[in-house]
Amino acid sequence: MRCDTTDERFLSPNPLTQVLPNRMPSWRQPVGKSCLVVACVSLLAIGCDGESTVPSSPTSTPLPPPAPAPSRNQQPSGGAPIVLGEAVTARVTQDDPVCGAPYPHRCLYFRLEASRTGHLTVTMRWDSRIADPYPLDIAVIDPLGRMALPTIGPGTQRQVSLPVSAGSTYVIEIWSAATPGEPFELYAAIDQ
């Protein structure tokens, strides 16, 4: 089958520059319909991998299960009690214990007994005038040693939220990369 619609009488040695009388250059001539159909069918039949099969829709790959929450296997011992709804002001010092693997920083601990079942939110704030934008961090450790990690912001604030059960004790861990650390304020509340 012949796909060229150009009359060979008008072709010059260089068809890209030759303009035919009252015609477009040969390289701009419309391609015949049969050639276009053959080209499209060939592309579909070949597919992307060179095999003679029509490509199928992509297959979905299942996502891996979510990673388990960080865990310490147990709660750290000690820690000052904290009362729901009351702000506590403190600072991590050189006298506070090392947090433990993998954190070489100093930590300050607080203990909170949930007075009711609900959703605990612990908020930590510090002075916004400090040069280090990330001088402190916080986690809450449940009775099984699982850690709830914070969300960042707004500004110089970290907040941890997790479900709690009445009568269970939760440990709030504050770490500081420098000692003495920046002064901070801690506030805990339970919503039902």
Q: What confidence tens digit (pLDDT) does each residue in 57-86 have?
A: 556 566 555 444 556 667 788 899 999 999
Same domain, 3 and 93: no
CATH of the domain at 162: 2.60.120.380
* 37-46: pLDDT as tens digits: 555 555 555 5
Same domain, 52 and 87: no
Give 49's contacts (C-beta < 8 A, 6+ positions apart): 55
Residue 87 has pLDDT above 90, yes or no: yes
- Residue 72 resides in a domain: no
Q: How far apart are CA 166 and CA 144, in angstroms?
A: 15
pLDDT score at 116? 95
> Residue 149: left if φ>0, alpha if ψ -120 to 50, beta else—which one?
beta
The domain tally of the chain equals: 2
Distances (CA, A) of 24 to 8, 11, 15, 21, 144: 14, 12, 11, 8, 81
pLDDT score at 57? 57
What are the backbone dihedrals phi and psi of residue 53, each rounded to the nearest 5 degrees, phi first? -125, 155
Give 130's contacts (C-beta < 8 A, 6+ positions apart): 156, 182
- Residue 75 resides in a domain: no
Which is more confident, 109 or 59? Answer: 109
Residue 118 has pLDDT above 60, yes or no: yes
For residue 147, count CB atoms less than 10 angstroms from its CB and return exposed for 0-12, middle for 13-18, buried for 19 or more. middle
Which is more confident, 100 or 5? Answer: 100
Query: What's the pLDDT band for 9 if we cut at 50, 70, 90?
Result: very low
Lowest mean pLDDT among 26-30, 54-58, 162-166: 26-30
Domain range holding 177? 80-191
Mean per-residue pLDDT of the chain = 75
Residue 186 has pLDDT above 90, yes or no: yes
Same domain, 177 and 95: yes
Contact 185, 125 (CB under 8 A): yes
Residue 17 has pLDDT above 50, yes or no: no
Same domain, 177 and 88: yes
* Tokens matching residue 26: 């040969």
Same domain, 109 and 178: yes
Q: How far apart are CA 51 and CA 140, in angstroms?
A: 56
Same domain, 126 and 47: no
What are the backbone dihedrals phi and psi of residue 21, each rounded to the nearest 5 degrees, phi first? -60, 125
Same domain, 12 and 85: no
